[in-house]
Amino acid sequence: MSRERNVVAAKPTRNDVQGALELAVFAGGRVTRHPLPAEGRVSLGRSPENDVPIDDSSVSRRHAIIHLGPPIAIEDLGSANGTRLRRERSAGPTTKLVELQPEQGKTVELSVGDAVNLGSTLIVILPREGAASAAPGQGQGQPIVLDPAMERLYALAERVAGAPITVLLLGETGAGKEVLAEHIHRRSPRAQGPFVRLNCAALSESLLESELFGHERGAFTSAVQAKPGLLETAEKGTVLLDEVGELPPSIQVKLLRVLEERKVMRVGGLSPRPIDVRFISATNRDLAAEVKRGAFREDLFFRLNGIALTIPPLRARISEIAPLARSLADRTASALGRPAPAFARETLAALEAHGWPGNIRELRNVIERAVVLSGGDTLLPEHLLLDAAAALPPVEARPTAAPAEPRPAAAPEAAAPAGTVPPAEGGGGLRGELDAIERKRIVDALEQCAGNQTQAAALLGMPRRTFVARLSAYGIPRPRKGKGTR
């Protein structure tokens, strides 16, 4: 292991030409993204008091600090499991991977795209997505539409775009509802107007009302000046109400009035203001069922449901997975200053066999992580780190297609003792190292929770079904039901 004292720059940085940046955190099988300021310090650790809290048992409560300059650098705060930076170094005709570990109180300079391990958690600084981005993972421009069902859907959307009708987009999380909404806007007579998005689930009820409808000066304590709401700022354009099924009942009443009267009343205002906007709503909920349950107003549902367009999940659009993956890989490699990687046939087969419960958003995370971890010109299956529990979706959820070439089944292994870590598959490598770390975390969690699988899964921030699948995958004997187990 190579240790570096003081500030080290092992390769030219891109700090002088960078735009807005974000921090991608890969932990617990999930990816979270955090916008970074142009300068200052950002603390990382397990404590919620950090600027970026990371809920992972391998991360210390106050683990590290990112210094945003220029230059960008990371400082370890005396963490228990260390901070490690992996970086390529050229030595003649060959390139080797060197691991740098800053000492406590010292800093190591980072480049955009460098992979850093905080314990077993991976973090990467990446260029932030542009405000006018299209699909999750598709970037700006035309969406990738190859599946016959998607072609029919987009053809219908083209016809709908020219009419002043409200549109309700239905589909699973990450399936591409926002992309379709922006496509409708670009094809509509309002294309030159603004396209304004609002995530209805991201704000509290009071903030949501102020953001939607605006407020007058003095309407509440912090209202030092009047502010127009999103509905006013979208004049002559389109408003996307994402996660509209999460709207509180009081906001549903006011939104219904806006849809019927085409006027908005600011918080603290005395008279309504006319607006000229088009409404597109999106949700992953069954709003008809929510209406029957009494959780969503029926009259608002009918107002929003001028026409409903349902987007099929990615697992039903297998023909689009490879083109989407290549597009994502090209964009990520470009952001990291690398050539676009190739895909091994086995990698594409693994992508097409995966269930994609998170749809395009999950695909984007997987490909970005694979490009960061590969460090080479070809993406291999071990770079994907796919969740085995999601590899085989229900048969009825998959389209009729030629089955993938079967893979030989691995020989069963004897269960290892509870406190040991099995050797990495294939004699080692990054995947084997990460598997060993995860197995150790699972064993430790079971010991802390006295064998209670539900509590251990919650401790790791992992769904119980995934936790049980990992027990089988790593050959960890499941605790017998009894006292303390479940």
Complete DSSP assignment for 154-212: HHHHHHHHTS---EEEE--TTSSHHHHHHHHHHTSTTTTS-EEEEETTSS-HHHHHHHH
The pLDDT of residue 436: 72
Closest CA to 213 of 181, 257, 164, 168: 257
Higher pLDDT, 226 or 232: 232
The pLDDT of residue 459: 73
Higher pLDDT, 482 or 478: 478
The pTM of the full predicted model, rounded to 2 decimals, is 0.58
The pLDDT of residue 168: 96
Least confident of 70-74, 186-190, 207-211: 207-211
Least confident of 13-17, 280-284, 304-308, 429-433: 13-17
The pLDDT of residue 210: 81
The pLDDT-based confidence of 429 (bands split at 50, 70, 90) is low
pLDDT digit string (tens) for 284-311?
999 999 999 999 999 999 999 999 999 9
Percent of the chain with pLDDT over 70: 77
The pairing of beta strand 94-102 with beta strand 121-127: unpaired
- pLDDT beyond 50 at 397: no
The pLDDT of residue 410: 37
Least confident of 18-32, 169-183, 212-226: 18-32
The pLDDT of residue 193: 87
Average pLDDT of the residues of the chain: 78
Closest CA to 75 of 39, 50, 107: 107
Sign of the Cα torsion 182, 185, 186, 187 reads: positive
